[in-house]
C-alpha cells in the first residue's frame, strides 16, 4: 500500500483532529495542544492514503534536546498496514535533523503492538511507571511553598535522579532529570520550595492546563507537598490532581494512597534509544 508522508501545516489541523477522534474516542487533546506543539522544534507527521489522512504522530524536541514520540494515531481500518512504520521512519529523520541524543516514547504495559513497533526501531524498555489521580480534591494548605530560581531547583532536584528512576512526568511526557529540563521547569514557574519543612515540588501541566494539575516530582515531606498541590489546584479551579512515578518508589505510592489517590487502570513503560 502506497502512503504519502509529510509534516502538518495549520490547514491540516481539522483532518489530524479527525484521525485522533476516530482512533481515540473521547481521549483527545491534539486540538487543545496544537499551538503549544507548534511552539516546539519537531513536527506532526501526517500519513495519507490517496487524499485521506489515515495516521498522525508528533515528534517533539524536549528542553534537553531529546526527541519525544507522542500522539501516534492510526485510524482503525488502516491499523497493521504499515502506517505506524511510516511515522517511525519520519521520527528517525527528525531525530537526525535536530541532532537528538536520544528519542523515547511511552505505552501501556499490555500494548504489545505499540511496544513491538517501537522495538523494531531500536527502542528498549528503560522504566516502568504507575499513575495515581485524585478527583475533586478537598483540603489542602499552601504551607510556605514559593517559586524558586533554576539554580536552586537544580540543586534540589538532581539528587532525586535515582529515587525517580531518572524521570519526571507531565501529561504522560517523561523528562530525564537533568539540568536542562529542571532549568526549563523552573523558568516556567513549576518548581516550589518550603524551606521550613525542607520540602519541594515540581507541578503544573505541559498542556491542557485547565484540566489537571500534574505532580512531576516531590521531595521532603510528601504530605506537605500533596497539601500544596491540592491547594494550588483548587486555586486554579482544577478538579483533578495526578502523579505518575517510577514503580520502585513505594514511599511515594503509600503517601498518595493515604491521601485518597486512586491508581490508574494500567502501568506504563518508557522505551528509549540512543541516536
Please report the pLDDT score of residue 250 as a whole number: 95
For 237, residues 6+ apart whose C-beta sits below 8 A from its C-beta are 210
Q: In terms of Cα–Cα distance, which of 243, 221, 183 is closest to 62?
A: 183
Give the whole-number percent of the chain exceeding pLDDT 90. 98
Please report the pLDDT score of residue 1 as a whole number: 81
Mean pLDDT of all residues in the chain?
97
Please report the pLDDT score of residue 220 as a whole number: 97
Please report the pLDDT score of residue 176 as a whole number: 98
Asked if pLDDT for residue 30 goes beyond 90, the answer is: yes
- Tell me the domains of the chain and their CATH numbers: 4-100 (3.40.630.30), 130-273 (3.40.630.30)
Asked if pLDDT for residue 216 goes beyond 90, the answer is: yes
Asked if pLDDT for residue 224 goes beyond 90, the answer is: yes
User: pLDDT tier at 243 (50, 70, 90 boundaries)?
Assistant: very high
Q: What mean pLDDT is predicted for residues 247-251?
A: 94
Please report the pLDDT score of residue 204 as a whole number: 98
Please report the pLDDT score of residue 188 as a whole number: 98
The pLDDT tens digits of the residues spanning 135-147 come to: 999 899 999 999 9
Please report the pLDDT score of residue 251 as a whole number: 94
Q: What mean pLDDT is predicted for residues 192-197?
A: 97
The pLDDT tens digits of the residues spanning 85-134 come to: 999 999 999 999 999 999 999 999 999 999 999 999 999 999 999 999 99
Please report the pLDDT score of residue 13 as a whole number: 97
Amino acid at each position: 500500500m502506497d502512503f504519502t508522508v509529510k509534516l502538518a501545516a495549520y490547514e491540516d489541523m481539522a483532518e489530524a483532529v479527525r484521525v485522533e477522534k476516530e482512533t481515540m474516542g473521547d481521549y483527545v487533546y491534539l486540538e487543545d495542544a496544537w499551538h503549544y506543539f507548534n511552539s516546539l522544534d519537531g513536527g506532526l507527521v501526517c500519513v495519507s492514503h490517496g487524499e485521506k489522512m489515515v495516521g498522525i504522530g508528533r515528534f517533539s524536541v524536549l528542553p534537553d534536546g531529546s526527541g519525544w514520540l507522542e500522539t501516534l494515531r492510526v485510524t482503525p481500518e488502516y491499523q497493521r498496514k504499515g502506517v505506524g512504520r511510516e511515522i517511525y521512519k519520519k521520527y528517525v529523520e527528525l531525530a537526525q535533523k535536530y541532532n537528538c541524543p536520544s528519542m523515547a516514547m511511552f505505552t501501556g504495559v499490555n500494548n504489545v503492538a505499540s511496544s513491538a513497533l517501537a522495538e523494531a526501531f531500536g527502542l528498549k524498555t528503560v522504566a516502568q511507571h504507575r499513575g495515581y489521580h485524585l478527583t475533586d480534591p478537598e483540603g489542602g494548605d499552601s504551607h510556605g511553598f514559593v517559586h524558586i530560581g533554576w539554580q536552586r531547583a537544580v540543586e534540589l532536584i538532581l539528587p532525586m535522579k535515582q529515587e525517580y528512576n531518572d524521570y519526571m512526568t507531565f501529561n504522560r511526557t517523561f523528562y530525564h532529570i537533568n539540568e536542562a529540563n529542571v532549568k526549563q521547569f523552573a523558568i516556567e514557574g513549576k518548581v516550589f520550595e518550603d524551606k521550613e519543612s525542607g520540602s519541594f515540588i515540581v507541578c503544573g501541566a505541559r498542556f491542557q492546563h485547565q484540566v489537571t494539575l500534574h505532580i512531576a516530582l516531590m521531595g521532603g515531606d510528601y504530605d506537605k507537598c500533596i497539601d500544596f498541590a491540592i491547594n494550588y489546584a483548587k486555586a486554579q479551579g482544577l478538579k483533578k490532581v495526578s502523579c505518575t512515578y517510577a514503580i520502585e518508589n513505594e514511599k511515594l505510592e503509600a503517601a498518595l494512597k493515604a491521601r485518597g489517590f486512586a491508581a490508574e487502570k494500567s502501568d506504563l513503560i518508557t522505551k528509549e534509544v540512543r541516536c
